Amino acid sequence: MFAVDDSLHRASPIHGGVPMVVHLHGGEVHSSSDGHPDSWYTSKGEVGSTFSSQNHIYINEQSLLALWYHDHAIGITRLNVAAGLTGMYIITSQKEQEFLPVGLPLVIQDKRFFDNGEINFPSVGILPDYHEQWCPKYYGDTILVNGVIWPFFKVLPRLYRFRILNACSARFLVLSLDKPGMYFYQIGTDGGLLPQPWNLTSLTLAPAERADVLIDFSGLRNGMSVVLNNSGPTPLPSGDIYQMPPMTYDILKFIVDEEEGYREGLVEGDYVSDIDFSSLLMDEKPLSKEDVVAVRTLSVVEWDDANHNPMIFTLDNHTWEDPIVQKPVEGTTEIWELVNLRINVHPIHIHLVQFQVLNQQSFSSLSYESGNCSLQVAYGENGSCFLEPAKDPYIYQRGWKDTVITWPGVVTRVIIRFSQRNGSAFGFDPSEGPGYAWHCHIVDHEDNVMMRPFVVTPNNTLAALVFLYRHSRKCTYHLLWK
């Protein structure tokens, strides 16, 4: 559908066809089913270097949460996602549905269109002598929800559950409701349910992030309406919201209709406090810094030309093709320090695992890059580059996550255990197959090599127990461990 930029490292079939491979974002899956960027295939029968099968297996042995799936072919993800290869994937249970409905998905995207209705995607790059078609960020001037432009939705004057996904290529969303006194009761993040709801007047979502929310329409009379608004500047944080296309402010209109209001998504009971969230949470072991076996300091860098036009993006000063550096041991816990050295925000997604944000700490980028100070931190001791003590994460960065916003001039620290959330071994061997990826989820950046591979190393001390667990579904890892 769109112009393909041959200047990028990309899937390049000889006989034509569109390379693609599905990635279940947030899924705990074997790497052969993870949508490895080099595992692409085409309708002509051509495949990438790590291809094994078009059939992917999702065992769904993880928390109750909303995942999503999209294309992940190397170098053309932005094209396939803009073309429509995106959807939501919800894991639920009978127990959850005794308390809560599955909820209604709100998949939010922005696009541009030609007058004939075809999608308008850039065909000339920002630096055409360097990148023929690639542009650093694709922003639409039209907002879609579930594929519909500026829809309306009829509701009863009751409490509803919504599963919100920012499926935009580059746009950050700052969502609010236009009626004073109305809130989002956020009950879940990327990684599933929270122990208790957060009462929020606004909700910040980077591309790829999800929010599980309740909205209470019970105080509204028949015929009244509420608009879901967006005030996220482009780019974040330096953009001017007053320069945004006017039609990107409004996303969705809710209309109270006591006769025709939609009944799916209704929450039983009149108050959020009536719901027992604790009974729905997994038996999870908390992540602890005492268990950390490695701290990795990883840079997030944009390389510009003399006029400050982006040319290439890197993570840890490497591209996708460079040798693998990150090789965590299965079952162990690590801290990854994501050091954003530039002026733009980057949402970083790590495949396979859920993690927690420890803290964030601003530093002097100029002094650090000049080699005049250090970012070395050990258990709370400040390096000489830091401008402040480490701060708790913003509320929208708390809970279990698979994507985290890294702010410019800030070190964002996440703690990761390479296992299931409750500490059990995965129901598959994560050390097998082509491995996994971590990358910026502005897909235009991801396609310009802001993506790195990692592999999971077998843990020999657990090998026998894990072997028994993976080959016998009669026991749990916890019982074997005891």
Residue pair 256/217 in contact (Cβ under 8 Å)? The answer is yes
CA neighbor of 163 nearest in space, from 248, 90, 81: 90
Residue 195 confidence (pLDDT): 86
Q: What is the mean pLDDT of residues 23-28?
A: 98
- Regarding whether 342 and 272 lie in a shared domain, the answer is no
What tens digit of pLDDT does each residue of 369-381 get?
Answer: 888 888 875 444 4
Residue 245 confidence (pLDDT): 77
- Residue 368: inside a domain, yes or no? yes
DSSP 281: S
Tokens, residue 288: 């602890």
Domain end position, chosen among 241, 259, 280 = 280
What tens digit of pLDDT does each residue of 301-311 get?
Answer: 989 888 888 89
Residues 266, 159: Cα–Cα separation, whole Å: 6
- Regarding whether 368 and 238 lie in a shared domain, the answer is no
In one letter, which amino acid is 381? E
List the single range of 13-17, 282-286, 321-325, 344-348 with lowest mean pLDDT.
Answer: 282-286
Q: Provide, rounded to the nearest whole percent, the portion of the chain with pLDDT above 90.
A: 77
Residues 124, 374: Cα–Cα separation, whole Å: 41
Helix ranges, 248-372 (H) = 365-369
Per-residue pLDDT at 476 exceeds 50: no
What tens digit of pLDDT does each residue of 340-355 get?
Answer: 998 889 999 999 999 9
Residues 248, 142: Cα–Cα separation, whole Å: 6
- Regarding whether 329 and 265 lie in a shared domain, the answer is no
- Residue 68: inside a domain, yes or no? no
- Regarding whether 256 and 170 lie in a shared domain, the answer is yes
- Residue 254: inside a domain, yes or no? yes
Residue 4 confidence (pLDDT): 94
pLDDT band at 467 (very low <50, low <70, confident <90, very high): low
Interior/surface letters 10-27, b for 16+ CB within 10 angstroms, e for the rest: bbebeeeebbbbbbbbbb
Q: What is the mean pLDDT of residues 316-329?
A: 96
- Regarding whether 209 and 168 lie in a shared domain, the answer is yes
Residue 469 confidence (pLDDT): 52
* pTM of full prediction above 0.75: yes
Rounded (10°) CA dihedral 69, 71, 75, 78: -80
End-to-end CA distance of the chain: 56
CATH of the domain at 167: 2.60.40.420
Domain end position, chosen among 280, 307, 341 = 280
Tokens, residue 443: 């897909």
- Residue 61: inside a domain, yes or no? no
443's enclosing H/E stretch is helix 443-447
Identify each DSSP E strand in 264-373 by its residue range. Answer: 292-304, 310-315, 333-340, 346-350, 355-362
Domain end position, chosen among 280, 305, 340 = 280
- Regarding whether 242 and 126 lie in a shared domain, the answer is yes
- Regarding whether 353 and 427 lie in a shared domain, the answer is yes
Per-residue pLDDT at 475 exceeds 50: no
- Regarding whether 404 and 298 lie in a shared domain, the answer is yes
- Residue 271: inside a domain, yes or no? yes
- Regarding whether 221 and 173 lie in a shared domain, the answer is yes
- Find the length of the chain: 482
Mean pLDDT of the chain: 91
Per-residue pLDDT at 142 exceeds 60: yes
Q: Is the dihedral of CA 213, 219, 220, 221 positive or negative?
A: positive
The number of distinct structural domains making up the chain is: 2
Q: What is the mean pLDDT of residues 267-294?
A: 83
Range of the domain at 183: 90-280
- Residue 56: inside a domain, yes or no? no
List the single range of 159-163, 222-226, 384-388, 463-467 with lowest mean pLDDT.
Answer: 463-467
Please state, as a whole number, how many other Cβ atoms lie within 10 Å of the Cβ of residue 195: 10
- Regarding whether 318 and 367 lie in a shared domain, the answer is yes
- Regarding whether 215 and 98 lie in a shared domain, the answer is yes
Q: What is the mean pLDDT of residues 313-338?
A: 96
- Regarding whether 177 and 126 lie in a shared domain, the answer is yes
- Residue 32: inside a domain, yes or no? no
- Residue 43: inside a domain, yes or no? no
